[in-house]
Chains A and B, each alone.
Chain A
């Protein structure tokens, strides 16, 4: 009975993991496929695609655009969103609750609607579509996520700490940079990572507001009509590996710190 139950759970876990990992494994394996134009059937192993990533016209440029847009809109959204979150939690002002509610809208609205709406706005203003409009659009929808993430952190921050800072001769700026900011850092970092991931990933809103500029997702979408080159798999795999390495580094350094603290106490 007990054995059967354990086995059932085991099989289920393996199947679930397989289901989640197969697309990634596929992408990774097929980055080594010696394919021509079509990267669908296995043609044999090669490193060529990893070495000639940028030879595919427009691919690396699109990837660079994605990184640039991601970084700039992450910085903008994180800075603005953090300030909004602090204001919403710490200060009582008119329209505070309506602003809280409005900030949820971009998350709740279907992306197509948001993208089309923004496109219409830019058209009305006569703004030429390009990197700038993509960054503006991404910043806008990332802010909501930053506010929600950082707000929770601000709410758990004891106001007495900032008061103690002010009492100990800290000017408002010093109190912010030496007390508020470091204590909010975990929330801000999480918000920034989320923003970058959302921005890097976004296709729908970007497609409406990018004009002739390509981002990585947009490049793949367009390429899909003709057949996706294996170099796309290379970039996707590289991003995936980079993420894994980052996670491992963070975990290892955290474990090391815990060990150091334990030793100090012991």
Chain B
């Protein structure tokens, strides 16, 4: 039986112990996830980590191998997709090619026999600014337009839970921002629960109340965007959300508030509460924008970490800020973002510099230091995928 009315408000979603195994491949492992009603939840992760699979499990298009799915407190694990108060915006749009845009959007309303499907469909199309194309077929629209129709087709049903699988991937930047605003407005106005899957970390951070970073079928870390950014718990999160400078070393001193880690002979101080591990070999890090560049050796000062001297190997100017790469002997290459308070870069390639940061801004990771990946930090997740591939190819060549 289909749900014969609009959702009054969002419903919460609860996944407990969800595992999904395909023949010979485990896509999701022991996933526990709770999304409060009315929240905007973003699922972020590299390609192939199981984001789409998670959405399909929630929509009922895939059956979990183990675990339970609860929507609004009701166990829906064994119900069919059309019985769930859930709609999906598919990654591949999946518009019905034999129907007009209007009929596509009205499809869900008609199935539930709701009043005035045509009027409501027009309204939804106006929302995505496509009402003037209502009588066309999907094949006569551009990719971005199709994506907006897919959005309208799902939103028009006002489901308690809306699943969005990279719904803005095909849009240009301007339209993307506009649709992000639109989505956020719809979500807050109606109070629906959104589960939004994306590759784009900026999109996830700006739109979501809660972000979960997923890797290889597991949730690495989840929390408010600021929390996730300022206090990443694993190297994967530290590098997937923005960039990080990571170091490894032995804990050499341990106080009530701080611990000190030996990095190439220099004790680097990290707040105890911001470190996941407090003894032995650990990995620590700091964000590039928290670091400042100095052209002369600073006086030792408690509460600040200093590394150097190092050599500037690259300077790239990006308008608002400049990115410097600094090679510190024994430590490796570090990234520094500096606001352009004066015209142009302050130092040139080859210059000798020290880098320093407030000890309270560092963080300690939960990874085993032996396996901490040292990506050349880069903002985009695609480049991580590319680097992975290059690393893999090198490995294969050596074998």
Measuring CB to CB, which residues of chain A are less than 8 angstroms from any residue of chain B? Answer: 158, 160-161, 163-171, 174, 178-179, 182-183, 261, 264-265
Enumerate chain A residues within 8 angstroms of B177, measured Cβ to Cβ.
none
Q: Which of the residues B94, B98, B136 comes within 8 Å of A183, measured between beta carbons?
A: B98
The answer to whether B82 touches A166, judged by C-beta atoms less than 8 angstroms apart, is: yes
The answer to whether A168 touches B111, judged by C-beta atoms less than 8 angstroms apart, is: yes
Enumerate chain B residues within 8 angstroms of A169, measured Cβ to Cβ.
2-3, 82, 108, 111-112, 157
The answer to whether B81 touches A166, judged by C-beta atoms less than 8 angstroms apart, is: yes
The answer to whether B81 touches A163, judged by C-beta atoms less than 8 angstroms apart, is: yes
Centre residue among B87, B98, B111, B157 by max chain A CB count within 10 A: B111
**Please, how many angstroms separate the alpha-carbon atoms of A169 and B136 in the complex?**
23
Interface of A is mostly: helix
Beyond A158-B92, A164-B90, A164-B94, whether A170 also contacts B82 by CB under 8 A is yes
The answer to whether A166 touches B80, judged by C-beta atoms less than 8 angstroms apart, is: yes
- Chain B residue with Cβ nearest A163: B61
The answer to whether B107 touches A165, judged by C-beta atoms less than 8 angstroms apart, is: yes
Min CB distance, A154 to chain B, in Å?
15
Min CB distance, A94 to chain B, in Å?
15
- Chain B residue with Cβ nearest A166: B81
The answer to whether B82 touches A161, judged by C-beta atoms less than 8 angstroms apart, is: no
Task: Mark out the residues of chain B between 45 and 64 whose CB falls within 8 Å of any chain A CB in the assembled complex.
Answer: 59-61
Min CB distance, A99 to chain B, in Å?
21
The answer to whether B61 touches A183, judged by C-beta atoms less than 8 angstroms apart, is: no
Enumerate chain B residues within 8 angstroms of A166, measured Cβ to Cβ.
60-61, 80-82
The answer to whether A160 touches B107, judged by C-beta atoms less than 8 angstroms apart, is: no
Instruction: Return the 3 tightest CB-CB contacts between A and B, nearest first.
Output: A168-B108, A164-B94, A160-B94
Beyond A158-B94, A183-B97, A183-B98, whether A170 also contacts B107 by CB under 8 A is yes
Pick 8 A–B contacts, CB within 8 A, sort by A: A164-B88, A167-B82, A167-B87, A168-B107, A169-B108, A169-B157, A171-B82, A174-B111
Task: Mark out the residues of chain B between 96 and 122 whose CB falls within 8 Å of any chain A CB in the assembled complex.
Answer: 96-98, 107-108, 111-112
Enumerate chain B residues within 8 angstroms of A165, measured Cβ to Cβ.
96, 107
B278 in contact (CB, < 8 A): no
The answer to whether B140 touches A167, judged by C-beta atoms less than 8 angstroms apart, is: no
Enumerate chain A residues within 8 angstroms of B140, measured Cβ to Cβ.
261, 265
The answer to whether B61 touches A167, judged by C-beta atoms less than 8 angstroms apart, is: yes
Min CB distance, B3 to chain A, in Å?
7
Q: Which of the residues A160, A178, A179, A261 comes within 8 Å of B92, measured between beta carbons?
A: A160
